[in-house]
Amino acid sequence: MAAIFTPAANGAMRGALLALGLLIAALVGFWWLWPSSLYMRKTGFVIEQPVPFSHQHHVAGLGIDCRFCHATVETSADAGMPPTYTCMTCHSQIWTNAKLLEPVRLSLAENRPIVWSRVTNLPDYVYFNHSIHIAKGVGCASCHGAVDQMPLTYKAVKLTMQFCLNCHRNPGPQLRPKSEIFNTSWRRDASTPSPQQLIAFYHVGGRNLTDCSICHR
Ligand code: HEC
Ligand code: HEC
Ligand code: HEC
Ligand code: HEC
Ligand code: HEC
């Protein structure tokens, strides 16, 4: 009886099935991993701004405190962005003709705020509040990285739910003394109070920080 499928055709069929299997595996892998990639989480990429503002120059270089520009970070949910006159306290005296600062001067002249592009952004269904984190010993750098080293600002940390929960499950080891909240290069060392001492100092606890309703209300 003549074979309908030759051994060669069998081999070709196996090869085709293997290729199809690999293709499916690759597609599933892509579908699974792509949303959490740095690219899709917009992490590690400089965001285009109307003025190329440098935290490196202003914070690390000139030593300006975060709160000079993000004035409400200790008192409200939003950190707040600097109004144009905050820039002009200096730039009406220095670099007054710089082309780079043209949008800042225009903003003042036309009484129209500078529209900064968002770097960090959570979906609307997540509730977040700066003031409680600052009050309870969480440093800016825990969520924003070393902003004072950035010539142009980018999102340094993927702000996934997993990231928030990692700390909420056990905040102690990630809390810092009050004096170090704004210091982006601070690291825990032998002189740092223990996690238990910091938890007690800041009165953290008394509720389950991983409850869905803490962040989704
Ligand atoms: C526990 C994490 C966390 C800490 C600590 C933190 N931030 Fe934020 N920050 C965020 C998140 C999340 C957003 C985005 C909020 C949103 O989309 O509603 C944000 C947004 C911002 C913004 C944009 C404006 C705004 O309020 O939405 C600025 C500016 C900012 N943070 C500055 C700071 C400074 C300065 C500190 C330290 C004093 C700090 N942040 C500490 C998580 C944090
Ligand atoms: C406390 C004073 C001060 C404040 C406030 C200030 N600047 Fe500056 N800025 C400077 C100085 C000084 C330089 C020159 C830095 C250098 O070249 O080392 C500068 C430089 C710049 C430059 C040129 C590029 C660079 O980084 O060297 C830009 C753009 C700029 N500032 C934008 C702003 C904006 C926007 C604001 C408000 C959000 C602001 N500055 C607030 C003092 C200030
Ligand atoms: C002289 C003013 C000034 C100071 C001081 C300053 N910032 Fe900013 N910050 C800005 C401006 C202007 C922007 C918007 C442009 C940009 O993203 O670079 C900004 C943006 C940011 C953002 C991104 C906001 C967003 O859209 O999500 C973060 C986070 C931030 N700053 C954190 C800090 C931290 C932390 C410090 C202190 C270590 C600090 N800033 C000090 C002026 C300042
Ligand atoms: C490094 C540690 C740390 C990280 C990261 C962190 N948190 Fe928190 N969070 C805390 C601490 C500490 C508290 C205060 C707990 C207390 O009051 O006992 C808190 C409290 C909160 C509260 C309660 C606010 C209120 O007024 O009831 C919310 C909401 C919250 N965090 C949201 C977030 C979100 C969203 C993220 C991720 C973008 C995040 N947190 C990341 C440590 C952290
Ligand atoms: C500490 C804050 C926090 C707590 C507690 C929390 N979430 Fe979230 N959740 C987030 C953040 C932040 C995001 C947005 C992540 C992003 O941008 O992709 C999120 C996103 C989600 C999403 C959208 C899909 C996804 O995974 O991105 C779902 C569904 C969700 N959370 C369910 C829950 C449930 C159920 C609980 C309780 C078991 C819970 N969350 C507790 C912070 C929290």
- For the stretch 45-73, pLDDT in tens is 898 999 999 999 999 999 999 999 999 99
168 Cα to the center of ligand 4, angstroms: 6
pLDDT in the model for residue 2:
58
In tens, the pLDDT along 76-122 reads: 999 999 999 999 999 988 877 888 899 999 999 999 999 999 999 99
Predicted confidence at residue 40, as pLDDT, reads: 77
Q: What's the CA-to-centroid distance between 161 and ligand 5, angstroms?
A: 5
Q: How far is residue 63's CA from residue 94's CA, in Å, rounded to a whole number?
A: 16
Ligand 1 atom with the shortest distance to the CA of 73: 38
Cα 59 to Cα 5, 37, 46, 63, 72, distances in angstroms: 74, 30, 18, 5, 17
108: nearest Cα among 77, 85, 78:
85
Instruction: Compute the CA torsion angle 12, 14, 15, 20 (nearest 10 deg).
Output: 130
Q: Mutation test of ligand 3: which of 41, 55, 73 has the most ligand atoms closer than 8 Å to its C-beta?
A: 55
Q: From CA 35, how far away is CA 39, in angstroms rounded?
A: 8
How does residue 191 score in pLDDT terms, banded at 50, 70 and 90? very high
